[in-house]
Structure 1
Amino acid sequence: MGRRTTLTAAVAVLALTCGCGAADMTRQASPFANAHGSKTLTLSVQSWVGAQANVAVAQYLLEHELGYRVDTVQVDEVPAWDALSQGRVDAILEDWGHPDQEKRYVQDKRTIAPGGDLGVTGHIGWFVPTYLARRHPDITDWHNLNKYASLFRTAESGGKGQLLDGSPSYVTNDKALVSNLKLGYQVVFAGSEAAQITQIKQFAKEKKPFLTYWYAPQWLFEKVPMTEVKLPPYKDGCDADAAKVACAYPRTPLKKYLNADFAKSGGKAAAFLKKFRWTTEDQNEVSLMIAEQKLSPQEAAKKWVDSHPGEWKKWLS
């Protein structure tokens, strides 16, 4: 995220309700993708709850307002581009920035078409709990992290401070950052967004110190206030060489992408997805219902749609 280059982690797949069940696109294609002559389409769902919120609302409106059959499939970020190029999925609704894939498929092969901005700006960073930042205000400057490394030691960090990451499939520069900034920390992967949230909430419950890779927008900030640690400022190109990264993550306007053929011939569905654009607050509202209130994606989408008609009706015009 921020630039989920390939956010690391064996992702604990979120339970998704979809037309034919959640599928691993690295193993199978959706039987509904590109079903010619029928009003069906397939949306890729990324492994974090914000992306699930996007798809839940889009799916609900496509089915209930436009009469489409919508299938959803779970697929990691980079493989999703391959699936989209091949027409095995019709759209990705939240991409955190993959310039190599964009050049290959959008500019060179032209098998993928831009679908416009999602309306949400993403940012990855390092965060500590706000209760810790209040006790040690200088901990929010990366120059001082080594001074506090002992606070973050865990059984998994090998005597160093722990930097908690999520899934190795996410976009992360953290191992390079730790090395290049000469920090006495060990990157430890929780395995998924869900597992990372569980650990963060447990640390917060016990008011323990923690340093974590995290990203916005994300509903957890409402439950566990966190303060960002300032890394060396991001400048264009400072992350071009993955092994030499020594700067912060960029702020990234999140983008949508459509299969190029679908973008041209997808009718009302393609037009709707191009117009689909909402705010960080909207996304967090639905995400919170799914992740914290335990509503199904369909229930959360219906609740949001029922209470925000002025926002979504313009996507259908």
Structure 2
Amino acid sequence: DAILEDWSHPDQEKRYVDDKKTIAPGGELGVTGHIGWYVPTYFAKQHPDVTNWKNLNKYADQLRTPESGGKGQLLDGSPSYVTNDKALVNNLKLNYQVVFSGSEAAQITQMKQFAKQKKPFLTYWYSPQWLFEKVPMTEVKLPAYKEGCDADAAKVACAYPHTPLEKYLNADFAKTGGKAAAFLKKFKWTTEDQNEVSLMIANDKLTPQEAAKKWVDQHRSTWRAWLSS
């Protein structure tokens, strides 16, 4: 009935919202999604210039792993993720190898292990995501994103965009869903809110229901605005 975190798919939006009219817009979630390259903040403090992509080759040896074939490692998650990383490495002439951990869970495990040992790493990562609360990371600035700079997947040489995340509802549900549909349309929170709840689930091992109750108990003024008058 509802998708509460859409990262922008204009082709699907045109097909299902505009043409087929089987999906209805549900408004903005209130969170801005962003993909980027990150290093652990402890490494960025030691080497501040690593946060500019132009200096990454200088640190390739320190970021090398047995899996990266003599080059620096850029850690990615699942090969199924839509990323520009291989093109970016190639087009920016970086001495790095994209290494897929296999899944988000495996990538998190790897980053936690690096952080525990205070080892440097370079990784593809995204916000909102609860791991930032456990492993502080600093973004590496890639060439600025401009509209259309990622149109040709093979030629991408720019940063990932910042994407206001959207909500979508099944069109029938949007019309007949009553208070539930009205609630979801009004539902809007911050990156910090989302990370707080996801951290409780992923790290503190609360069930989604337990995490929801704990958050609701502490943020009454926020969710009151989502209820129909």
- TM-score if structure 2 supplies the norm length? 0.95
- 1:248 match: 159
Residue 106 (structure 1) aligns with? 17
How far 1:218 moved relative to its partner?
1.9
Q: Which amino acid aligns with 2:46?
A: R
| Alpha-carbon distance, 1:313 to partner | 2.1
Partner of 2:88: 177
Deviation for aligned residue 1:266 = 1.8
Q: Secondary structure at the match of 1:312?
A: helix
State the identity %. 84
Mapping of residues 111-260 of structure 1, within 5 Å: 111-260=22-171
Amino acid at match of 2:193: D
Which amino acid letter does the alignment assign opposite residue 149 of structure 2? C
Please state whether the residue corresponding to 2:226 is helix, strand or coil: helix
Identify the residue that residue 297 of structure 1 maps to in structure 2.
Answer: 208
1:286 lines up with 2:197 in the alignment: yes
Partner of residue 87, structure 1? none
What letter matches 1:209 in structure 2? Answer: P
- SS of equivalent to 2:149: coil
Amino acid at match of 2:215: W
- Deviation at 1:271? 1.1
Q: Structure 1 residue 289: deviation in Å?
A: 0.6
Deviations, residues 41-89 of structure 1 (Å, cap 9, x unaligned): xxxxxxxxxxxxxxxxxxxxxxxxxxxxxxxxxxxxxxxxxxxxxxxxx
1:231-260 alpha-carbon deviations (Å, 9 max, x no partner): 000001111122211100111111111112
Amino acid of the residue matched to residue 212 of structure 1?
A: T
Distance 1:307 1:227 in 2: 29
Q: Deviations over 1:126-183 (max 9, x none)?
A: 0011111122221111111112111111122122111111223333111111111111
In structure 2, how many angstroms separate the alpha carbons of the residues matched to 1:187 and 1:112? 36
The residue matched to 2:62 in structure 1 has which SS? helix
The C-alpha deviation readout for 1:165-219, integer Å capped at 9, x for no partner, is 1223333111111111111111112222221111111101111110001111222
Secondary structure in 2 matching 1:306: helix
CA distance in structure 1 between the aligned counterparts of 2:108 and 2:54, rounded to whole angstroms:
26
- CA 1:269 to 1:169, structure 2 compared with 1: closer, same or farther past 3 Å? farther
Matched residue count:
228
User: Secondary structure at the residue paired with 1:316?
Assistant: coil
1:256-275 paired onto structure 2 within 5 Å: 256-275=167-186
CA distance in 1 between counterparts of 2:37 and 2:170 reads 34
Instruction: Point out which structure has higher relative CO (alpha carbons under 8 A, 6+ apart).
Output: 2
List gaps (5 residues or longer) in structure 1.
1-89
Distance 1:259 1:241 in 2: 32
Residue 65 of structure 1: aligned partner: none
What TM-score results when the alignment is normalised by the length of structure 1? Answer: 0.69
